[in-house]
């Protein structure tokens, strides 16, 4: 995981240095979801100002109907 993030960071920096004439004035962010298929555990991680939002779609309309965002799940429900 660490190597994949470092590789992606290198690709982004290389592209920026080749294509941009402006100085870098902003950073980057990472939002990840990891699922342990053995235990059914879901872990989300946010670094910077990106956030992971989980949603289920209504199979008939394709619109999201159950949306969960960081801080939405109460502390007593975590781990359910």
pTM of the predicted model, to two decimals?
0.45
Residue for token digits 């004439």? 21
Q: What residue numbers bound the domain in which 72 lies?
A: 2-77
Phi, psi (degrees; rounded to nearest 5) at 35:
-120, 125
User: How confident is the model at residue 29, as a pLDDT?
Assistant: 79
pLDDT in tens, the chain (80 residues): 788 888 888 888 888 888 887 776 666 778 888 888 899 888 888 787 777 777 777 788 877 776 666 665 544 444 44
Amino acid 39: pLDDT: 92
User: How many domains, the chain?
Assistant: 1
Per-residue pLDDT, 65: 72
Backbone angles phi, psi at 73, to 5 degrees: -80, 125
């Amino acid at each position: 995981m660490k190597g994949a993030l470092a590789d992606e960071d290198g690709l982004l920096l290389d592209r920026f240095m080749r294509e941009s004439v402006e100085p870098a004035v902003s950073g980057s962010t990472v939002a990840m979801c990891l699922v342990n298929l053995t235990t059914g555990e879901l872990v989300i991680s946010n670094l910077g100002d990106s956030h992971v939002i989980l949603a289920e779609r209504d199979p008939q309309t394709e619109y999201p109907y159950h949306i969960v965002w960081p801080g939405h799940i109460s502390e007593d429900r975590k781990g359910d």
